[in-house]
A = this chain, B = another copy of it.
Amino acid sequence: MTTGAVVLLSGGMDSAVTLALARERGRDCHALSVRYGQRHSSELDAAARLAHTLGPGRHRVLDLDLRAFGGSALTADIAVPEAPTGGIPVTYVPARNTIMLSLALGYAEVLGAREIWCGVNAVDYSGYPDCRPEFIAAFERTANLATRAGTEGAGFTIEAPLIAMGKARIVREGLRLGIDFSATVSCYQADPQGRACGRCDACRLRAQGFAEAGVADPTRYR
């Protein structure tokens, strides 16, 4: 039997590579994106482009407007920093990955899928606490205590295949897997056409990854 997997798909390069890895491993993939009021909503168009190859009914976009809480440069009227700031930056969205993984967990349980794949990365990253391996391990444990499937049957595993990869390696993995990186959007303040600012943390980490990998980055800048 094919193992079912829910893949969290933001539309950035990391989740694109994660989805491709899950498919390479033969998983029966369902992509989940969340319209959470993010400033860079063009990433959702990117997610739709990336999920297209999964076929119809395999990509769900859930609405959850986290602007109701605010508190982040991605969801409130706070400027996105265009230089490193030290510490956890203001682009951190409180509890975002916990919320996303919880939603993926609910969806996976309904589908009968037993894996949740996500593109978190703890090497070339912005210092978000919910991208660390210890967070992923704790969430997996919680997920198995929380659910019918974790309690009565085979439990859930959270797969974070990029967690120990640097950005350059992620770029190389993506190229190996045939990903069209021009379809992805990383910039925190991408315009509606998905064109990047070139100055935010996400743009800098992405450009650095392509540069280190010695590959041209197809990002369109505005």
Contact = CB atoms under 8 A, between A and B. Distances in A.
A69 B212 CA distance: 41
A201 to B, nearest CB: 15
Contacts of A92: 148
- This chain: copies in complex: 2
A9 B92 CA distance: 26
A154 interface: no
A103 interface: yes
Interface in A92-151: 92-99, 101-103, 105-107, 109-110, 129-130, 132, 134-135, 138-139, 141-143, 145-148, 150-151
Interface of A: 60, 62-66, 68-71, 87-88, 92-99, 101-103, 105-107, 109-110, 129-130, 132, 134-135, 138-139, 141-143, 145-148, 150-152
